[in-house]
Structure 1
């Protein structure tokens, strides 16, 4: 279990906070609005009313106890930048920042933060991928054109082996695991036969997965 501080409890900030709580972590939510902070006092580990652009106010939060600080301030780029700069000045090492625009990204990148997040852009890409590949329920980009994708087995695949499913791909696709009901199976032989509602986790290049995609519909 880790502890995180989320600064800015708008839609993005509170969604991240509640999911971290759901995953078993503790979260301090910070917002300059007393109304917003009070709204989530029962749902988060702690809520604090604080002007995050004030470096002295941030120092009083004892952020050294946080494994990471997420700056989730939305439309107010100036406040986001001032907050990020203050966090750097007081020695916070793991800083994640939500960036709303390319200019915001460019400036934040000069501050040397751990990660810059573009939620609207990233969600837009995920929606486009879901529309284009409806059989893929989730995916993770690993970089260098490599992906991990989650695929739900269709009824048409009843008793098909993994080798039959993958036989027409010209490049390698690895089966990382298969989830069946409450079981998670790994190191599956190619003659393993799938059943409807099995969940496959596959990894491979974008080209290989794209070649496979039409067969998964």
Structure 2
């Protein structure tokens, strides 16, 4: 069990605080709005109405004991930056921050935060990817344009030879595993054929995955 601090309890901050609590962690939630505090007060460890731009306030709340702090302040960019500076002064091990604009992102990058989050932008990308490639139910970005994607095999793909489908992408797109019912296959023999509802996990460069995805339509 770890201690986390979430500063800013709008919808984004609340989601993080509640999920961390569900995962068994202690959560300190801080916001200046009583309404936001009331919405989570009965569900997280500590919910406090406080000004997180005041370093002394944060110190009194023992946020320095947190393994990580998430600054989820929405519109007030100045308050977000002040919070980051305070958290850095308190030697918080990991600081993640929600960025509102490109200039906000630039400033945060110079402050040495561990992770800059763009929730609206990230969600927009996910929605666009889902609309463009509906057969890809999940994906995870790695470094250098590499992705891991989860593909659920549809009815019309029944009986298709997997290795034949991979074809010219076999060198750049790698099959990590295939799950069929409760059985997981890590090494698939030549001639292996697909069945509806098979779950395929593959990894590769984004451009190759996009080209390959047309084969699953």
TM, length-normalised to structure 1: 0.91
Give the structure 2 partner of residue 46 of structure 1.
46
Tell me: CA distance 1:180–1:72, structure 2 relative to 1, closer, same or farther (3 Å).
same
Contact 1:146 1:204 in 2 (8 A): yes
Tell me: CA distance 1:182–1:19, structure 2 relative to 1, closer, same or farther (3 Å).
farther
Tell me: CA distance 1:130–1:34, structure 2 relative to 1, closer, same or farther (3 Å).
same
**How many Å separate the matches in 2 of 1:209 and 1:134?**
13
- Deviation, structure 1 residue 68: 0.9
- Deviation, structure 1 residue 66: 1.9
Contact 1:175 1:202 in 2 (8 A): yes
**How many Å separate the matches in 1 of 2:183 and 2:25?**
25
Contact 2:18 2:40 in 1 (8 A): no
- Deviation, structure 1 residue 190: 4.4
Give the structure 1 partner of residue 98 of structure 2.
98
- Deviation, structure 1 residue 173: 1.3
Give the structure 2 partner of residue 161 of structure 1.
161
Q: Does 1:14 align with 2:14?
A: yes
Q: Report the 3-state secondary structure (helix = DSSP H, G, I; strand = E; otherwise coil) of the residue aligned with 2:108.
A: helix
TM, length-normalised to structure 2: 0.91
**How many Å separate the matches in 2 of 1:184 and 1:32?**
49
What does the per-residue CA deviation read over 1:46-77, in whole Å, with 9 as the maximum and x for residues that have no partner?
A: 32222111100001122233221000001011
Q: Report the 3-state secondary structure (helix = DSSP H, G, I; strand = E; otherwise coil) of the residue aligned with 2:111.
A: coil
Runs of 4+ in 1 over 4 A off after TM superposition: none
Q: Does 1:178 align with 2:151?
A: no
Give the structure 2 partner of residue 119 of structure 1.
119
Give the structure 2 partner of residue 201 of structure 1.
201
Number of equivalenced pairs: 217
**How many Å separate the matches in 2 of 1:215 and 1:101?**
37
- Deviation, structure 1 residue 115: 0.9
Q: Does 1:130 align with 2:130?
A: yes
**How many Å separate the matches in 2 of 1:66 and 1:186?**
39
**How many Å separate the matches in 2 of 1:192 and 1:48?**
57
- Deviation, structure 1 residue 40: 0.9
Q: Report the 3-state secondary structure (helix = DSSP H, G, I; strand = E; otherwise coil) of the residue aligned with 1:113.
A: coil
Tell me: CA distance 1:37–1:131, structure 2 relative to 1, closer, same or farther (3 Å).
same
- Deviation, structure 1 residue 24: 4.0
Tell me: CA distance 1:184–1:57, structure 2 relative to 1, closer, same or farther (3 Å).
farther
What does the per-residue CA deviation read over 1:9-43, in whole Å, with 9 as the maximum and x for residues that have no partner?
A: 10111122223334443322221223321221222
